[in-house]
Amino acid sequence: MSLETELQNYWMPFTANRAFKKNPRLITSAEGIHLFDPSGRRILDGSSGLFCVPAGHCRPEIAKAVGEQLRKLDYTSPFQFSHPGGFELARKIAELTPPGLDRIFFANSGSESVETAMKMAIAYHRANGQPQRYRFVSRELAYHGVNFGGISVGGMIKNREGYGPLLPGVVHMRHTQTVKNSFTQGQAETGADLADDLQRAVDFYGADTIAAVVVEPVVGSVGILVPPKGYLQRLRQIADKHGILLIFDEVITGFGRTGAPFAAQTFDVQPDLITMAKALTNGSIPMGAVAASTKIYDTITSAAPDDVIEFFHGYTYSAHPVATAAGLATLRIYEEDGLYQRAADLAGPFQAAVAQLRELSMVTDIRGYGLLAGIDLEPTAKFGQRGYAMLKALFEAGLLVRVTNDTVILAPPFVAEVSDLEQMVDIIKRTISQL
């Protein structure tokens, strides 16, 4: 079959489809921190897939658990029925979340987790006698998935424009990337006062109209924006003062990326809701989840008689048996292989390696935290063109990265060695010099 025929039916997500078909990048197998193309060429996975494969590809433990589950119980309705794996995975996740964030609701992706958390916030206030709290406060440059709630609170223009009026009542705070803080490694000393944008929203719209403030603790998809010191704490204080819930979207940061199971622990700030997905199953089977505080769960469930459904929300595949088996096997690997600690230990050498790229004149900023780094390249006349060229050139050079506009994002697997991390940076350095 010709390549043209092979590629004719698939409409690819977030891809320049017509350009791709002229120059396809196909992956046919993977192992550990490497991917392989159809010719067997080895490509280093510099972004853990899409931030979701920290334990390395094709872990046999996960394959075994998934296979056994498929033979034992492939599916059961999660509405009014359940299976032991759902309960067990919820308990395991609750052991990892900050104390008090103990109720786990399952979804199938990051986007669905965000919608779920937003609906929980509104349902909580309604159950609490405040149905007028419908507004969300979020941030410019945020990524919260692609469903209508998520693009409404999201701040990536391309994801929002052209889709109509979106959810009413969303207010965007400024993002935290400032020229002054360029090339800051880790958290910047200045910028916590940007959290006062939440207070401005309260002053302007009235606290009693605001359901929740939703932020990624470290902004991921837009290019790794690290919260300035004290910023998340200040958001928490303002939210507390006005009865506003704080949602951390940890779809990227969840399960170790910042050196602790959740960024809430890394930055020592307790949100009311945490969304997660990606690394929950090491990328193997789609799954997302929301961890809700006991207060939210109790308020929503106690508002209804005990034989009535309390929260009208859920998915056919919530707590899918195969996904829960993959999740349980994954969390066992993280624990037994000490991968949270390993991520913390690798962060220093990783950030030091990435910092070397500073010397290249094309690099205009580098930001990073834990095993996340964003490297900004000077744009050409056409915004995003250089980033796209880099994505293709790096792939040719044997490195898979995530690129957003003109920013190269690295998010290596936690099982990488320091020499692998250095190799990733070397490939970027060489490729930029050749570009």
DSSP secondary structure string, 2-23?
A: -HHHHTSS---TTS-HHHHHHS
Would you tell me the crossing angle of helices 110-127 and 294-302 to the nearest 10 degrees? Answer: 60
In the 8-state DSSP scheme, what is residue 355? H
Least separation in angstroms between CB 50 and ligand PMP = 6
Which residues 6+ apart lie within 8 Å of 2 measured at CB?
A: none
Q: Which of 47, 48, 69, 109 binds ligand PMP (CB under 6 A)?
A: 109
What three-state secondary structure class fits 426?
A: helix
- Segment 145 to 184, residues that bind ligand PMP, using CB under 6 A: 145
**Comparison of 173 and 251: residue with beta carbon closer to ligand PMP:** 251
Based on the shown chain and the rule CB under 6 A, indicate whether residue 187 belongs to the binding site for ligand PMP. Answer: no
Distance (Å, whole) CA 231 – CA 189: 10
Q: How many residues bind ligand PMP (CB under 6 A)?
A: 14
Full strand arrangement of the beta sheet holding 372-377 = 363-369, 372-377, 407-410, 402-404
Of the listed pieces 103-111, 117-125, 236-244, 390-398, which binds ligand PMP according to CB under 6 A?
A: 103-111
Least separation in angstroms between CB 393 and ligand PMP = 23
Q: How many helices (H) and strands (E) does the chain have?
A: 16, 15
Based on the shown chain and the rule CB under 6 A, indicate whether residue 115 belongs to the binding site for ligand PMP. Answer: no
Based on the shown chain and the rule CB under 6 A, indicate whether residue 277 belongs to the binding site for ligand PMP. Answer: yes
In the 8-state DSSP scheme, what is residue 365? E
The residue among 244, 263, 246, 267 whose CA lies nearest residue 254 is: 263
**Comparison of 171 and 251: residue with beta carbon closer to ligand PMP:** 251
**Comparison of 45 and 249: residue with beta carbon closer to ligand PMP:** 249
**Comparison of 216 and 272: residue with beta carbon closer to ligand PMP:** 216
Which residues 6+ apart lie within 8 Å of 369 measured at CB?
A: 186, 187, 218, 224, 226, 258, 347, 351
Based on the shown chain and the rule CB under 6 A, indicate whether residue 317 belongs to the binding site for ligand PMP. Answer: no
Based on the shown chain and the rule CB under 6 A, indicate whether residue 221 belongs to the binding site for ligand PMP. Answer: yes
Q: Which of 45, 115, 216, 406 binds ligand PMP (CB under 6 A)?
A: 216
CA-angle at 61, arms to 285 and 279, nearest 5°: 40
- Segment 385 to 404, residues that bind ligand PMP, using CB under 6 A: none
288-292 and 42-45 beta bridge pairing: unpaired
Based on the shown chain and the rule CB under 6 A, indicate whether residue 420 belongs to the binding site for ligand PMP. Answer: no
Query: Would you give the binding string for ligand PMP spanning residues 223-262, x where CB under 6 A is met?
Result: --------------------------x-xx----------
Least separation in angstroms between CB 216 and ligand PMP = 5
Least separation in angstroms between CB 278 and ligand PMP = 6
Cβ atoms of residues 313 and 292 within 8 Å: no
Q: Which of 105, 124, 143, 297 binds ligand PMP (CB under 6 A)?
A: 143
The residue among 157, 170, 166 whose CA lies nearest residue 404 is: 157
Based on the shown chain and the rule CB under 6 A, indicate whether residue 222 belongs to the binding site for ligand PMP. Answer: no
Q: Which of 85, 86, 110, 261 binds ligand PMP (CB under 6 A)?
A: 110
Binding site for ligand PMP (CB under 6 A): 109-111, 114, 143-145, 216, 220-221, 249, 251-252, 277
